[in-house]
Copies of this chain bind each other. A is one copy, B any other.
Amino acid sequence: MNVLLGGRALPHRTVAFDRDRNAVLLIEQRLLPHEFKIIATPDYRHTAEAIRSMIVRGAGAIGATAAYGLAQGAQAFRGRDLDKFTAHVQTVYQTLADARPTAVDPVNAMNDVLAALRPGQTVAEQQALALAAAEEFANGDVAHCRAIGEHGAKLIRNGMRILTHCNAGWLAFVDIGSTTAPLYAAQARGRTFHVYCDETRPRSQGATLTAWELAQQKIPHHIIADNAAGHLMQRGEIDLVIVGSDRVLGRTGEVANKIGTYTKAVLAARHHIPFYVAIPLSTIDWRLKRGRDIPIEERDEAEVLGAWGVTPAGKRTYIRVANPASPARNPGFDVTPPDLITGLITPVGILKPAELWKHRQSLGHA
């Protein structure tokens, strides 16, 4: 999508590969929204470190970064010994997998790359295959998001006021994003609409990343406190809600997403406002039986007790907002039941959450 630089809108991907330098190109997301910077990782160890330190975050984006990182490591091998090459690739794989040990996307993406390395070929041939497979993974991520956009754009009519929560935008994927895909596709069709971004405390991804994306794309929007969405719905100022998801249960249709999503779904249901969840198919978990079994991570209380930002003097800092002697609880995610969800916007169409299991074969469940 676009980035506004010096008044001009330049297209960028969140993750890309520079063949000449054998480097992965990443947006340094920890500097956003206050600064835009592209970094080039000089070798696969730096690529792993970029995943670990959250220079890049988001399911699709870290998957593609790991895939490119594996290809980058393979490219860097010097020599013709296939056994040594295979051992080297295994080291690269493990280094990248260890960068975010609980994330499933880097491993899935690298397995796609490994599957492309056919036995009996030369090192040079395998190096070329690895890079092609990484490119294919990244392009596949973009194609899935584009398809989500095609289906989701049908929901957006002129003049609509759309609420979003957190960020599942192009910064979380290789490009386009999931939650944001219908917005970008509707904009491309010439439709005009307004977005309300929940700030999404405690990490404020709505106020920082989603708002930054929409500003780059020149989509009219306001940031609101998470507390304000209910009031706006009550006054008839929200027409549609679109959120993303970290995990959708294929068996029940329950949706795990950033803390606060459930609250917005309850409010939307009360006000008969359509509530959609935009996801790639890789988000569907076909194994877990009940939403209550989804582990809800309790994150660092410092997130709730303060905030990160920039002082009037331009200095980046964390500030403590809360009473110094008080502790906080910080559940990172919540689970929304399927009866509160109007539909799932997927690359293959808009589905009712309760129908996932019925369509499991066409949705890629083995």
Chain A positions 185 through 220: 1 when the CB is less than 8 Å from some CB of chain B, otherwise 0:
000000000001101111010011001101100000
Given A200-B227, A262-B231, A311 and B317 contact (CB-CB distance below 8 Å): yes
Is residue A224 within 8 Å, beta carbon to beta carbon, of the partner chain? yes
A238 to B207, CA, bound (A): 28
Is residue A274 within 8 Å, beta carbon to beta carbon, of the partner chain? no
Residues of A whose CB lies within 8 Å of any CB of B are: 33-34, 196-197, 199-202, 204, 207-208, 211-212, 214-215, 221-232, 234, 258-260, 262-263, 266-267, 270, 296, 304-312, 317-331, 334-335
The 8 Å CB contact of A215, one of B200, B225, B263, B323, is B323
Determine the main DSSP class of A at the interface with B: mixed
The 8 Å CB contact of A211, one of B196, B226, B306, B322, is B322
Q: Are A231 and B307 in contact (CB under 8 A)?
A: no
Number of copies: 2
A sample of 29 cross-chain residue pairs with beta-carbon separation below 8 angstroms, ordered by A number, consists of A33-B324, A200-B227, A201-B201, A201-B226, A202-B227, A207-B305, A207-B323, A208-B321, A211-B322, A211-B326, A212-B323, A214-B326, A221-B327, A223-B304, A223-B322, A223-B327, A224-B330, A225-B260, A226-B260, A230-B262, A231-B263, A231-B335, A307-B319, A308-B321, A309-B319, A310-B320, A311-B318, A312-B320, A319-B319
Residues of chain B lying within 8 A (CB to CB) of residue A228: 259-260, 329-331, 334
Cβ of A253 to closest chain B Cβ, rounded Å: 16
Residues of chain B lying within 8 A (CB to CB) of residue A320: 34, 309-310, 312
A331 to B197, CA, bound (A): 14
Residues of chain B lying within 8 A (CB to CB) of residue A309: 306-307, 319-321
Given A266-B230, A267-B266, A311-B317, A327 and B225 contact (CB-CB distance below 8 Å): no
Q: Are B323 and A312 in contact (CB under 8 A)?
A: no
List the B residue with the shortest CB-CB distance to A262: B230
Residues of chain B lying within 8 A (CB to CB) of residue A331: 228, 231-232
A69 to B212, CA, bound (A): 48
Residues of chain B lying within 8 A (CB to CB) of residue A334: 228, 230-231, 234
Cβ of A354 to closest chain B Cβ, rounded Å: 19
Residues of chain B lying within 8 A (CB to CB) of residue A234: 262, 334-335
Residues of chain B lying within 8 A (CB to CB) of residue A311: 311, 317-319
Q: Are A328 and B226 in contact (CB under 8 A)?
A: no
Residues of chain B lying within 8 A (CB to CB) of residue A33: 322-324, 326
A224 to B308, CA, bound (A): 17
Known A215-B323, A225-B260; 13 more pairs at CB < 8 Å: A197-B326, A201-B201, A207-B323, A211-B322, A212-B326, A215-B326, A222-B326, A223-B326, A224-B328, A226-B226, A227-B263, A228-B331, A231-B262
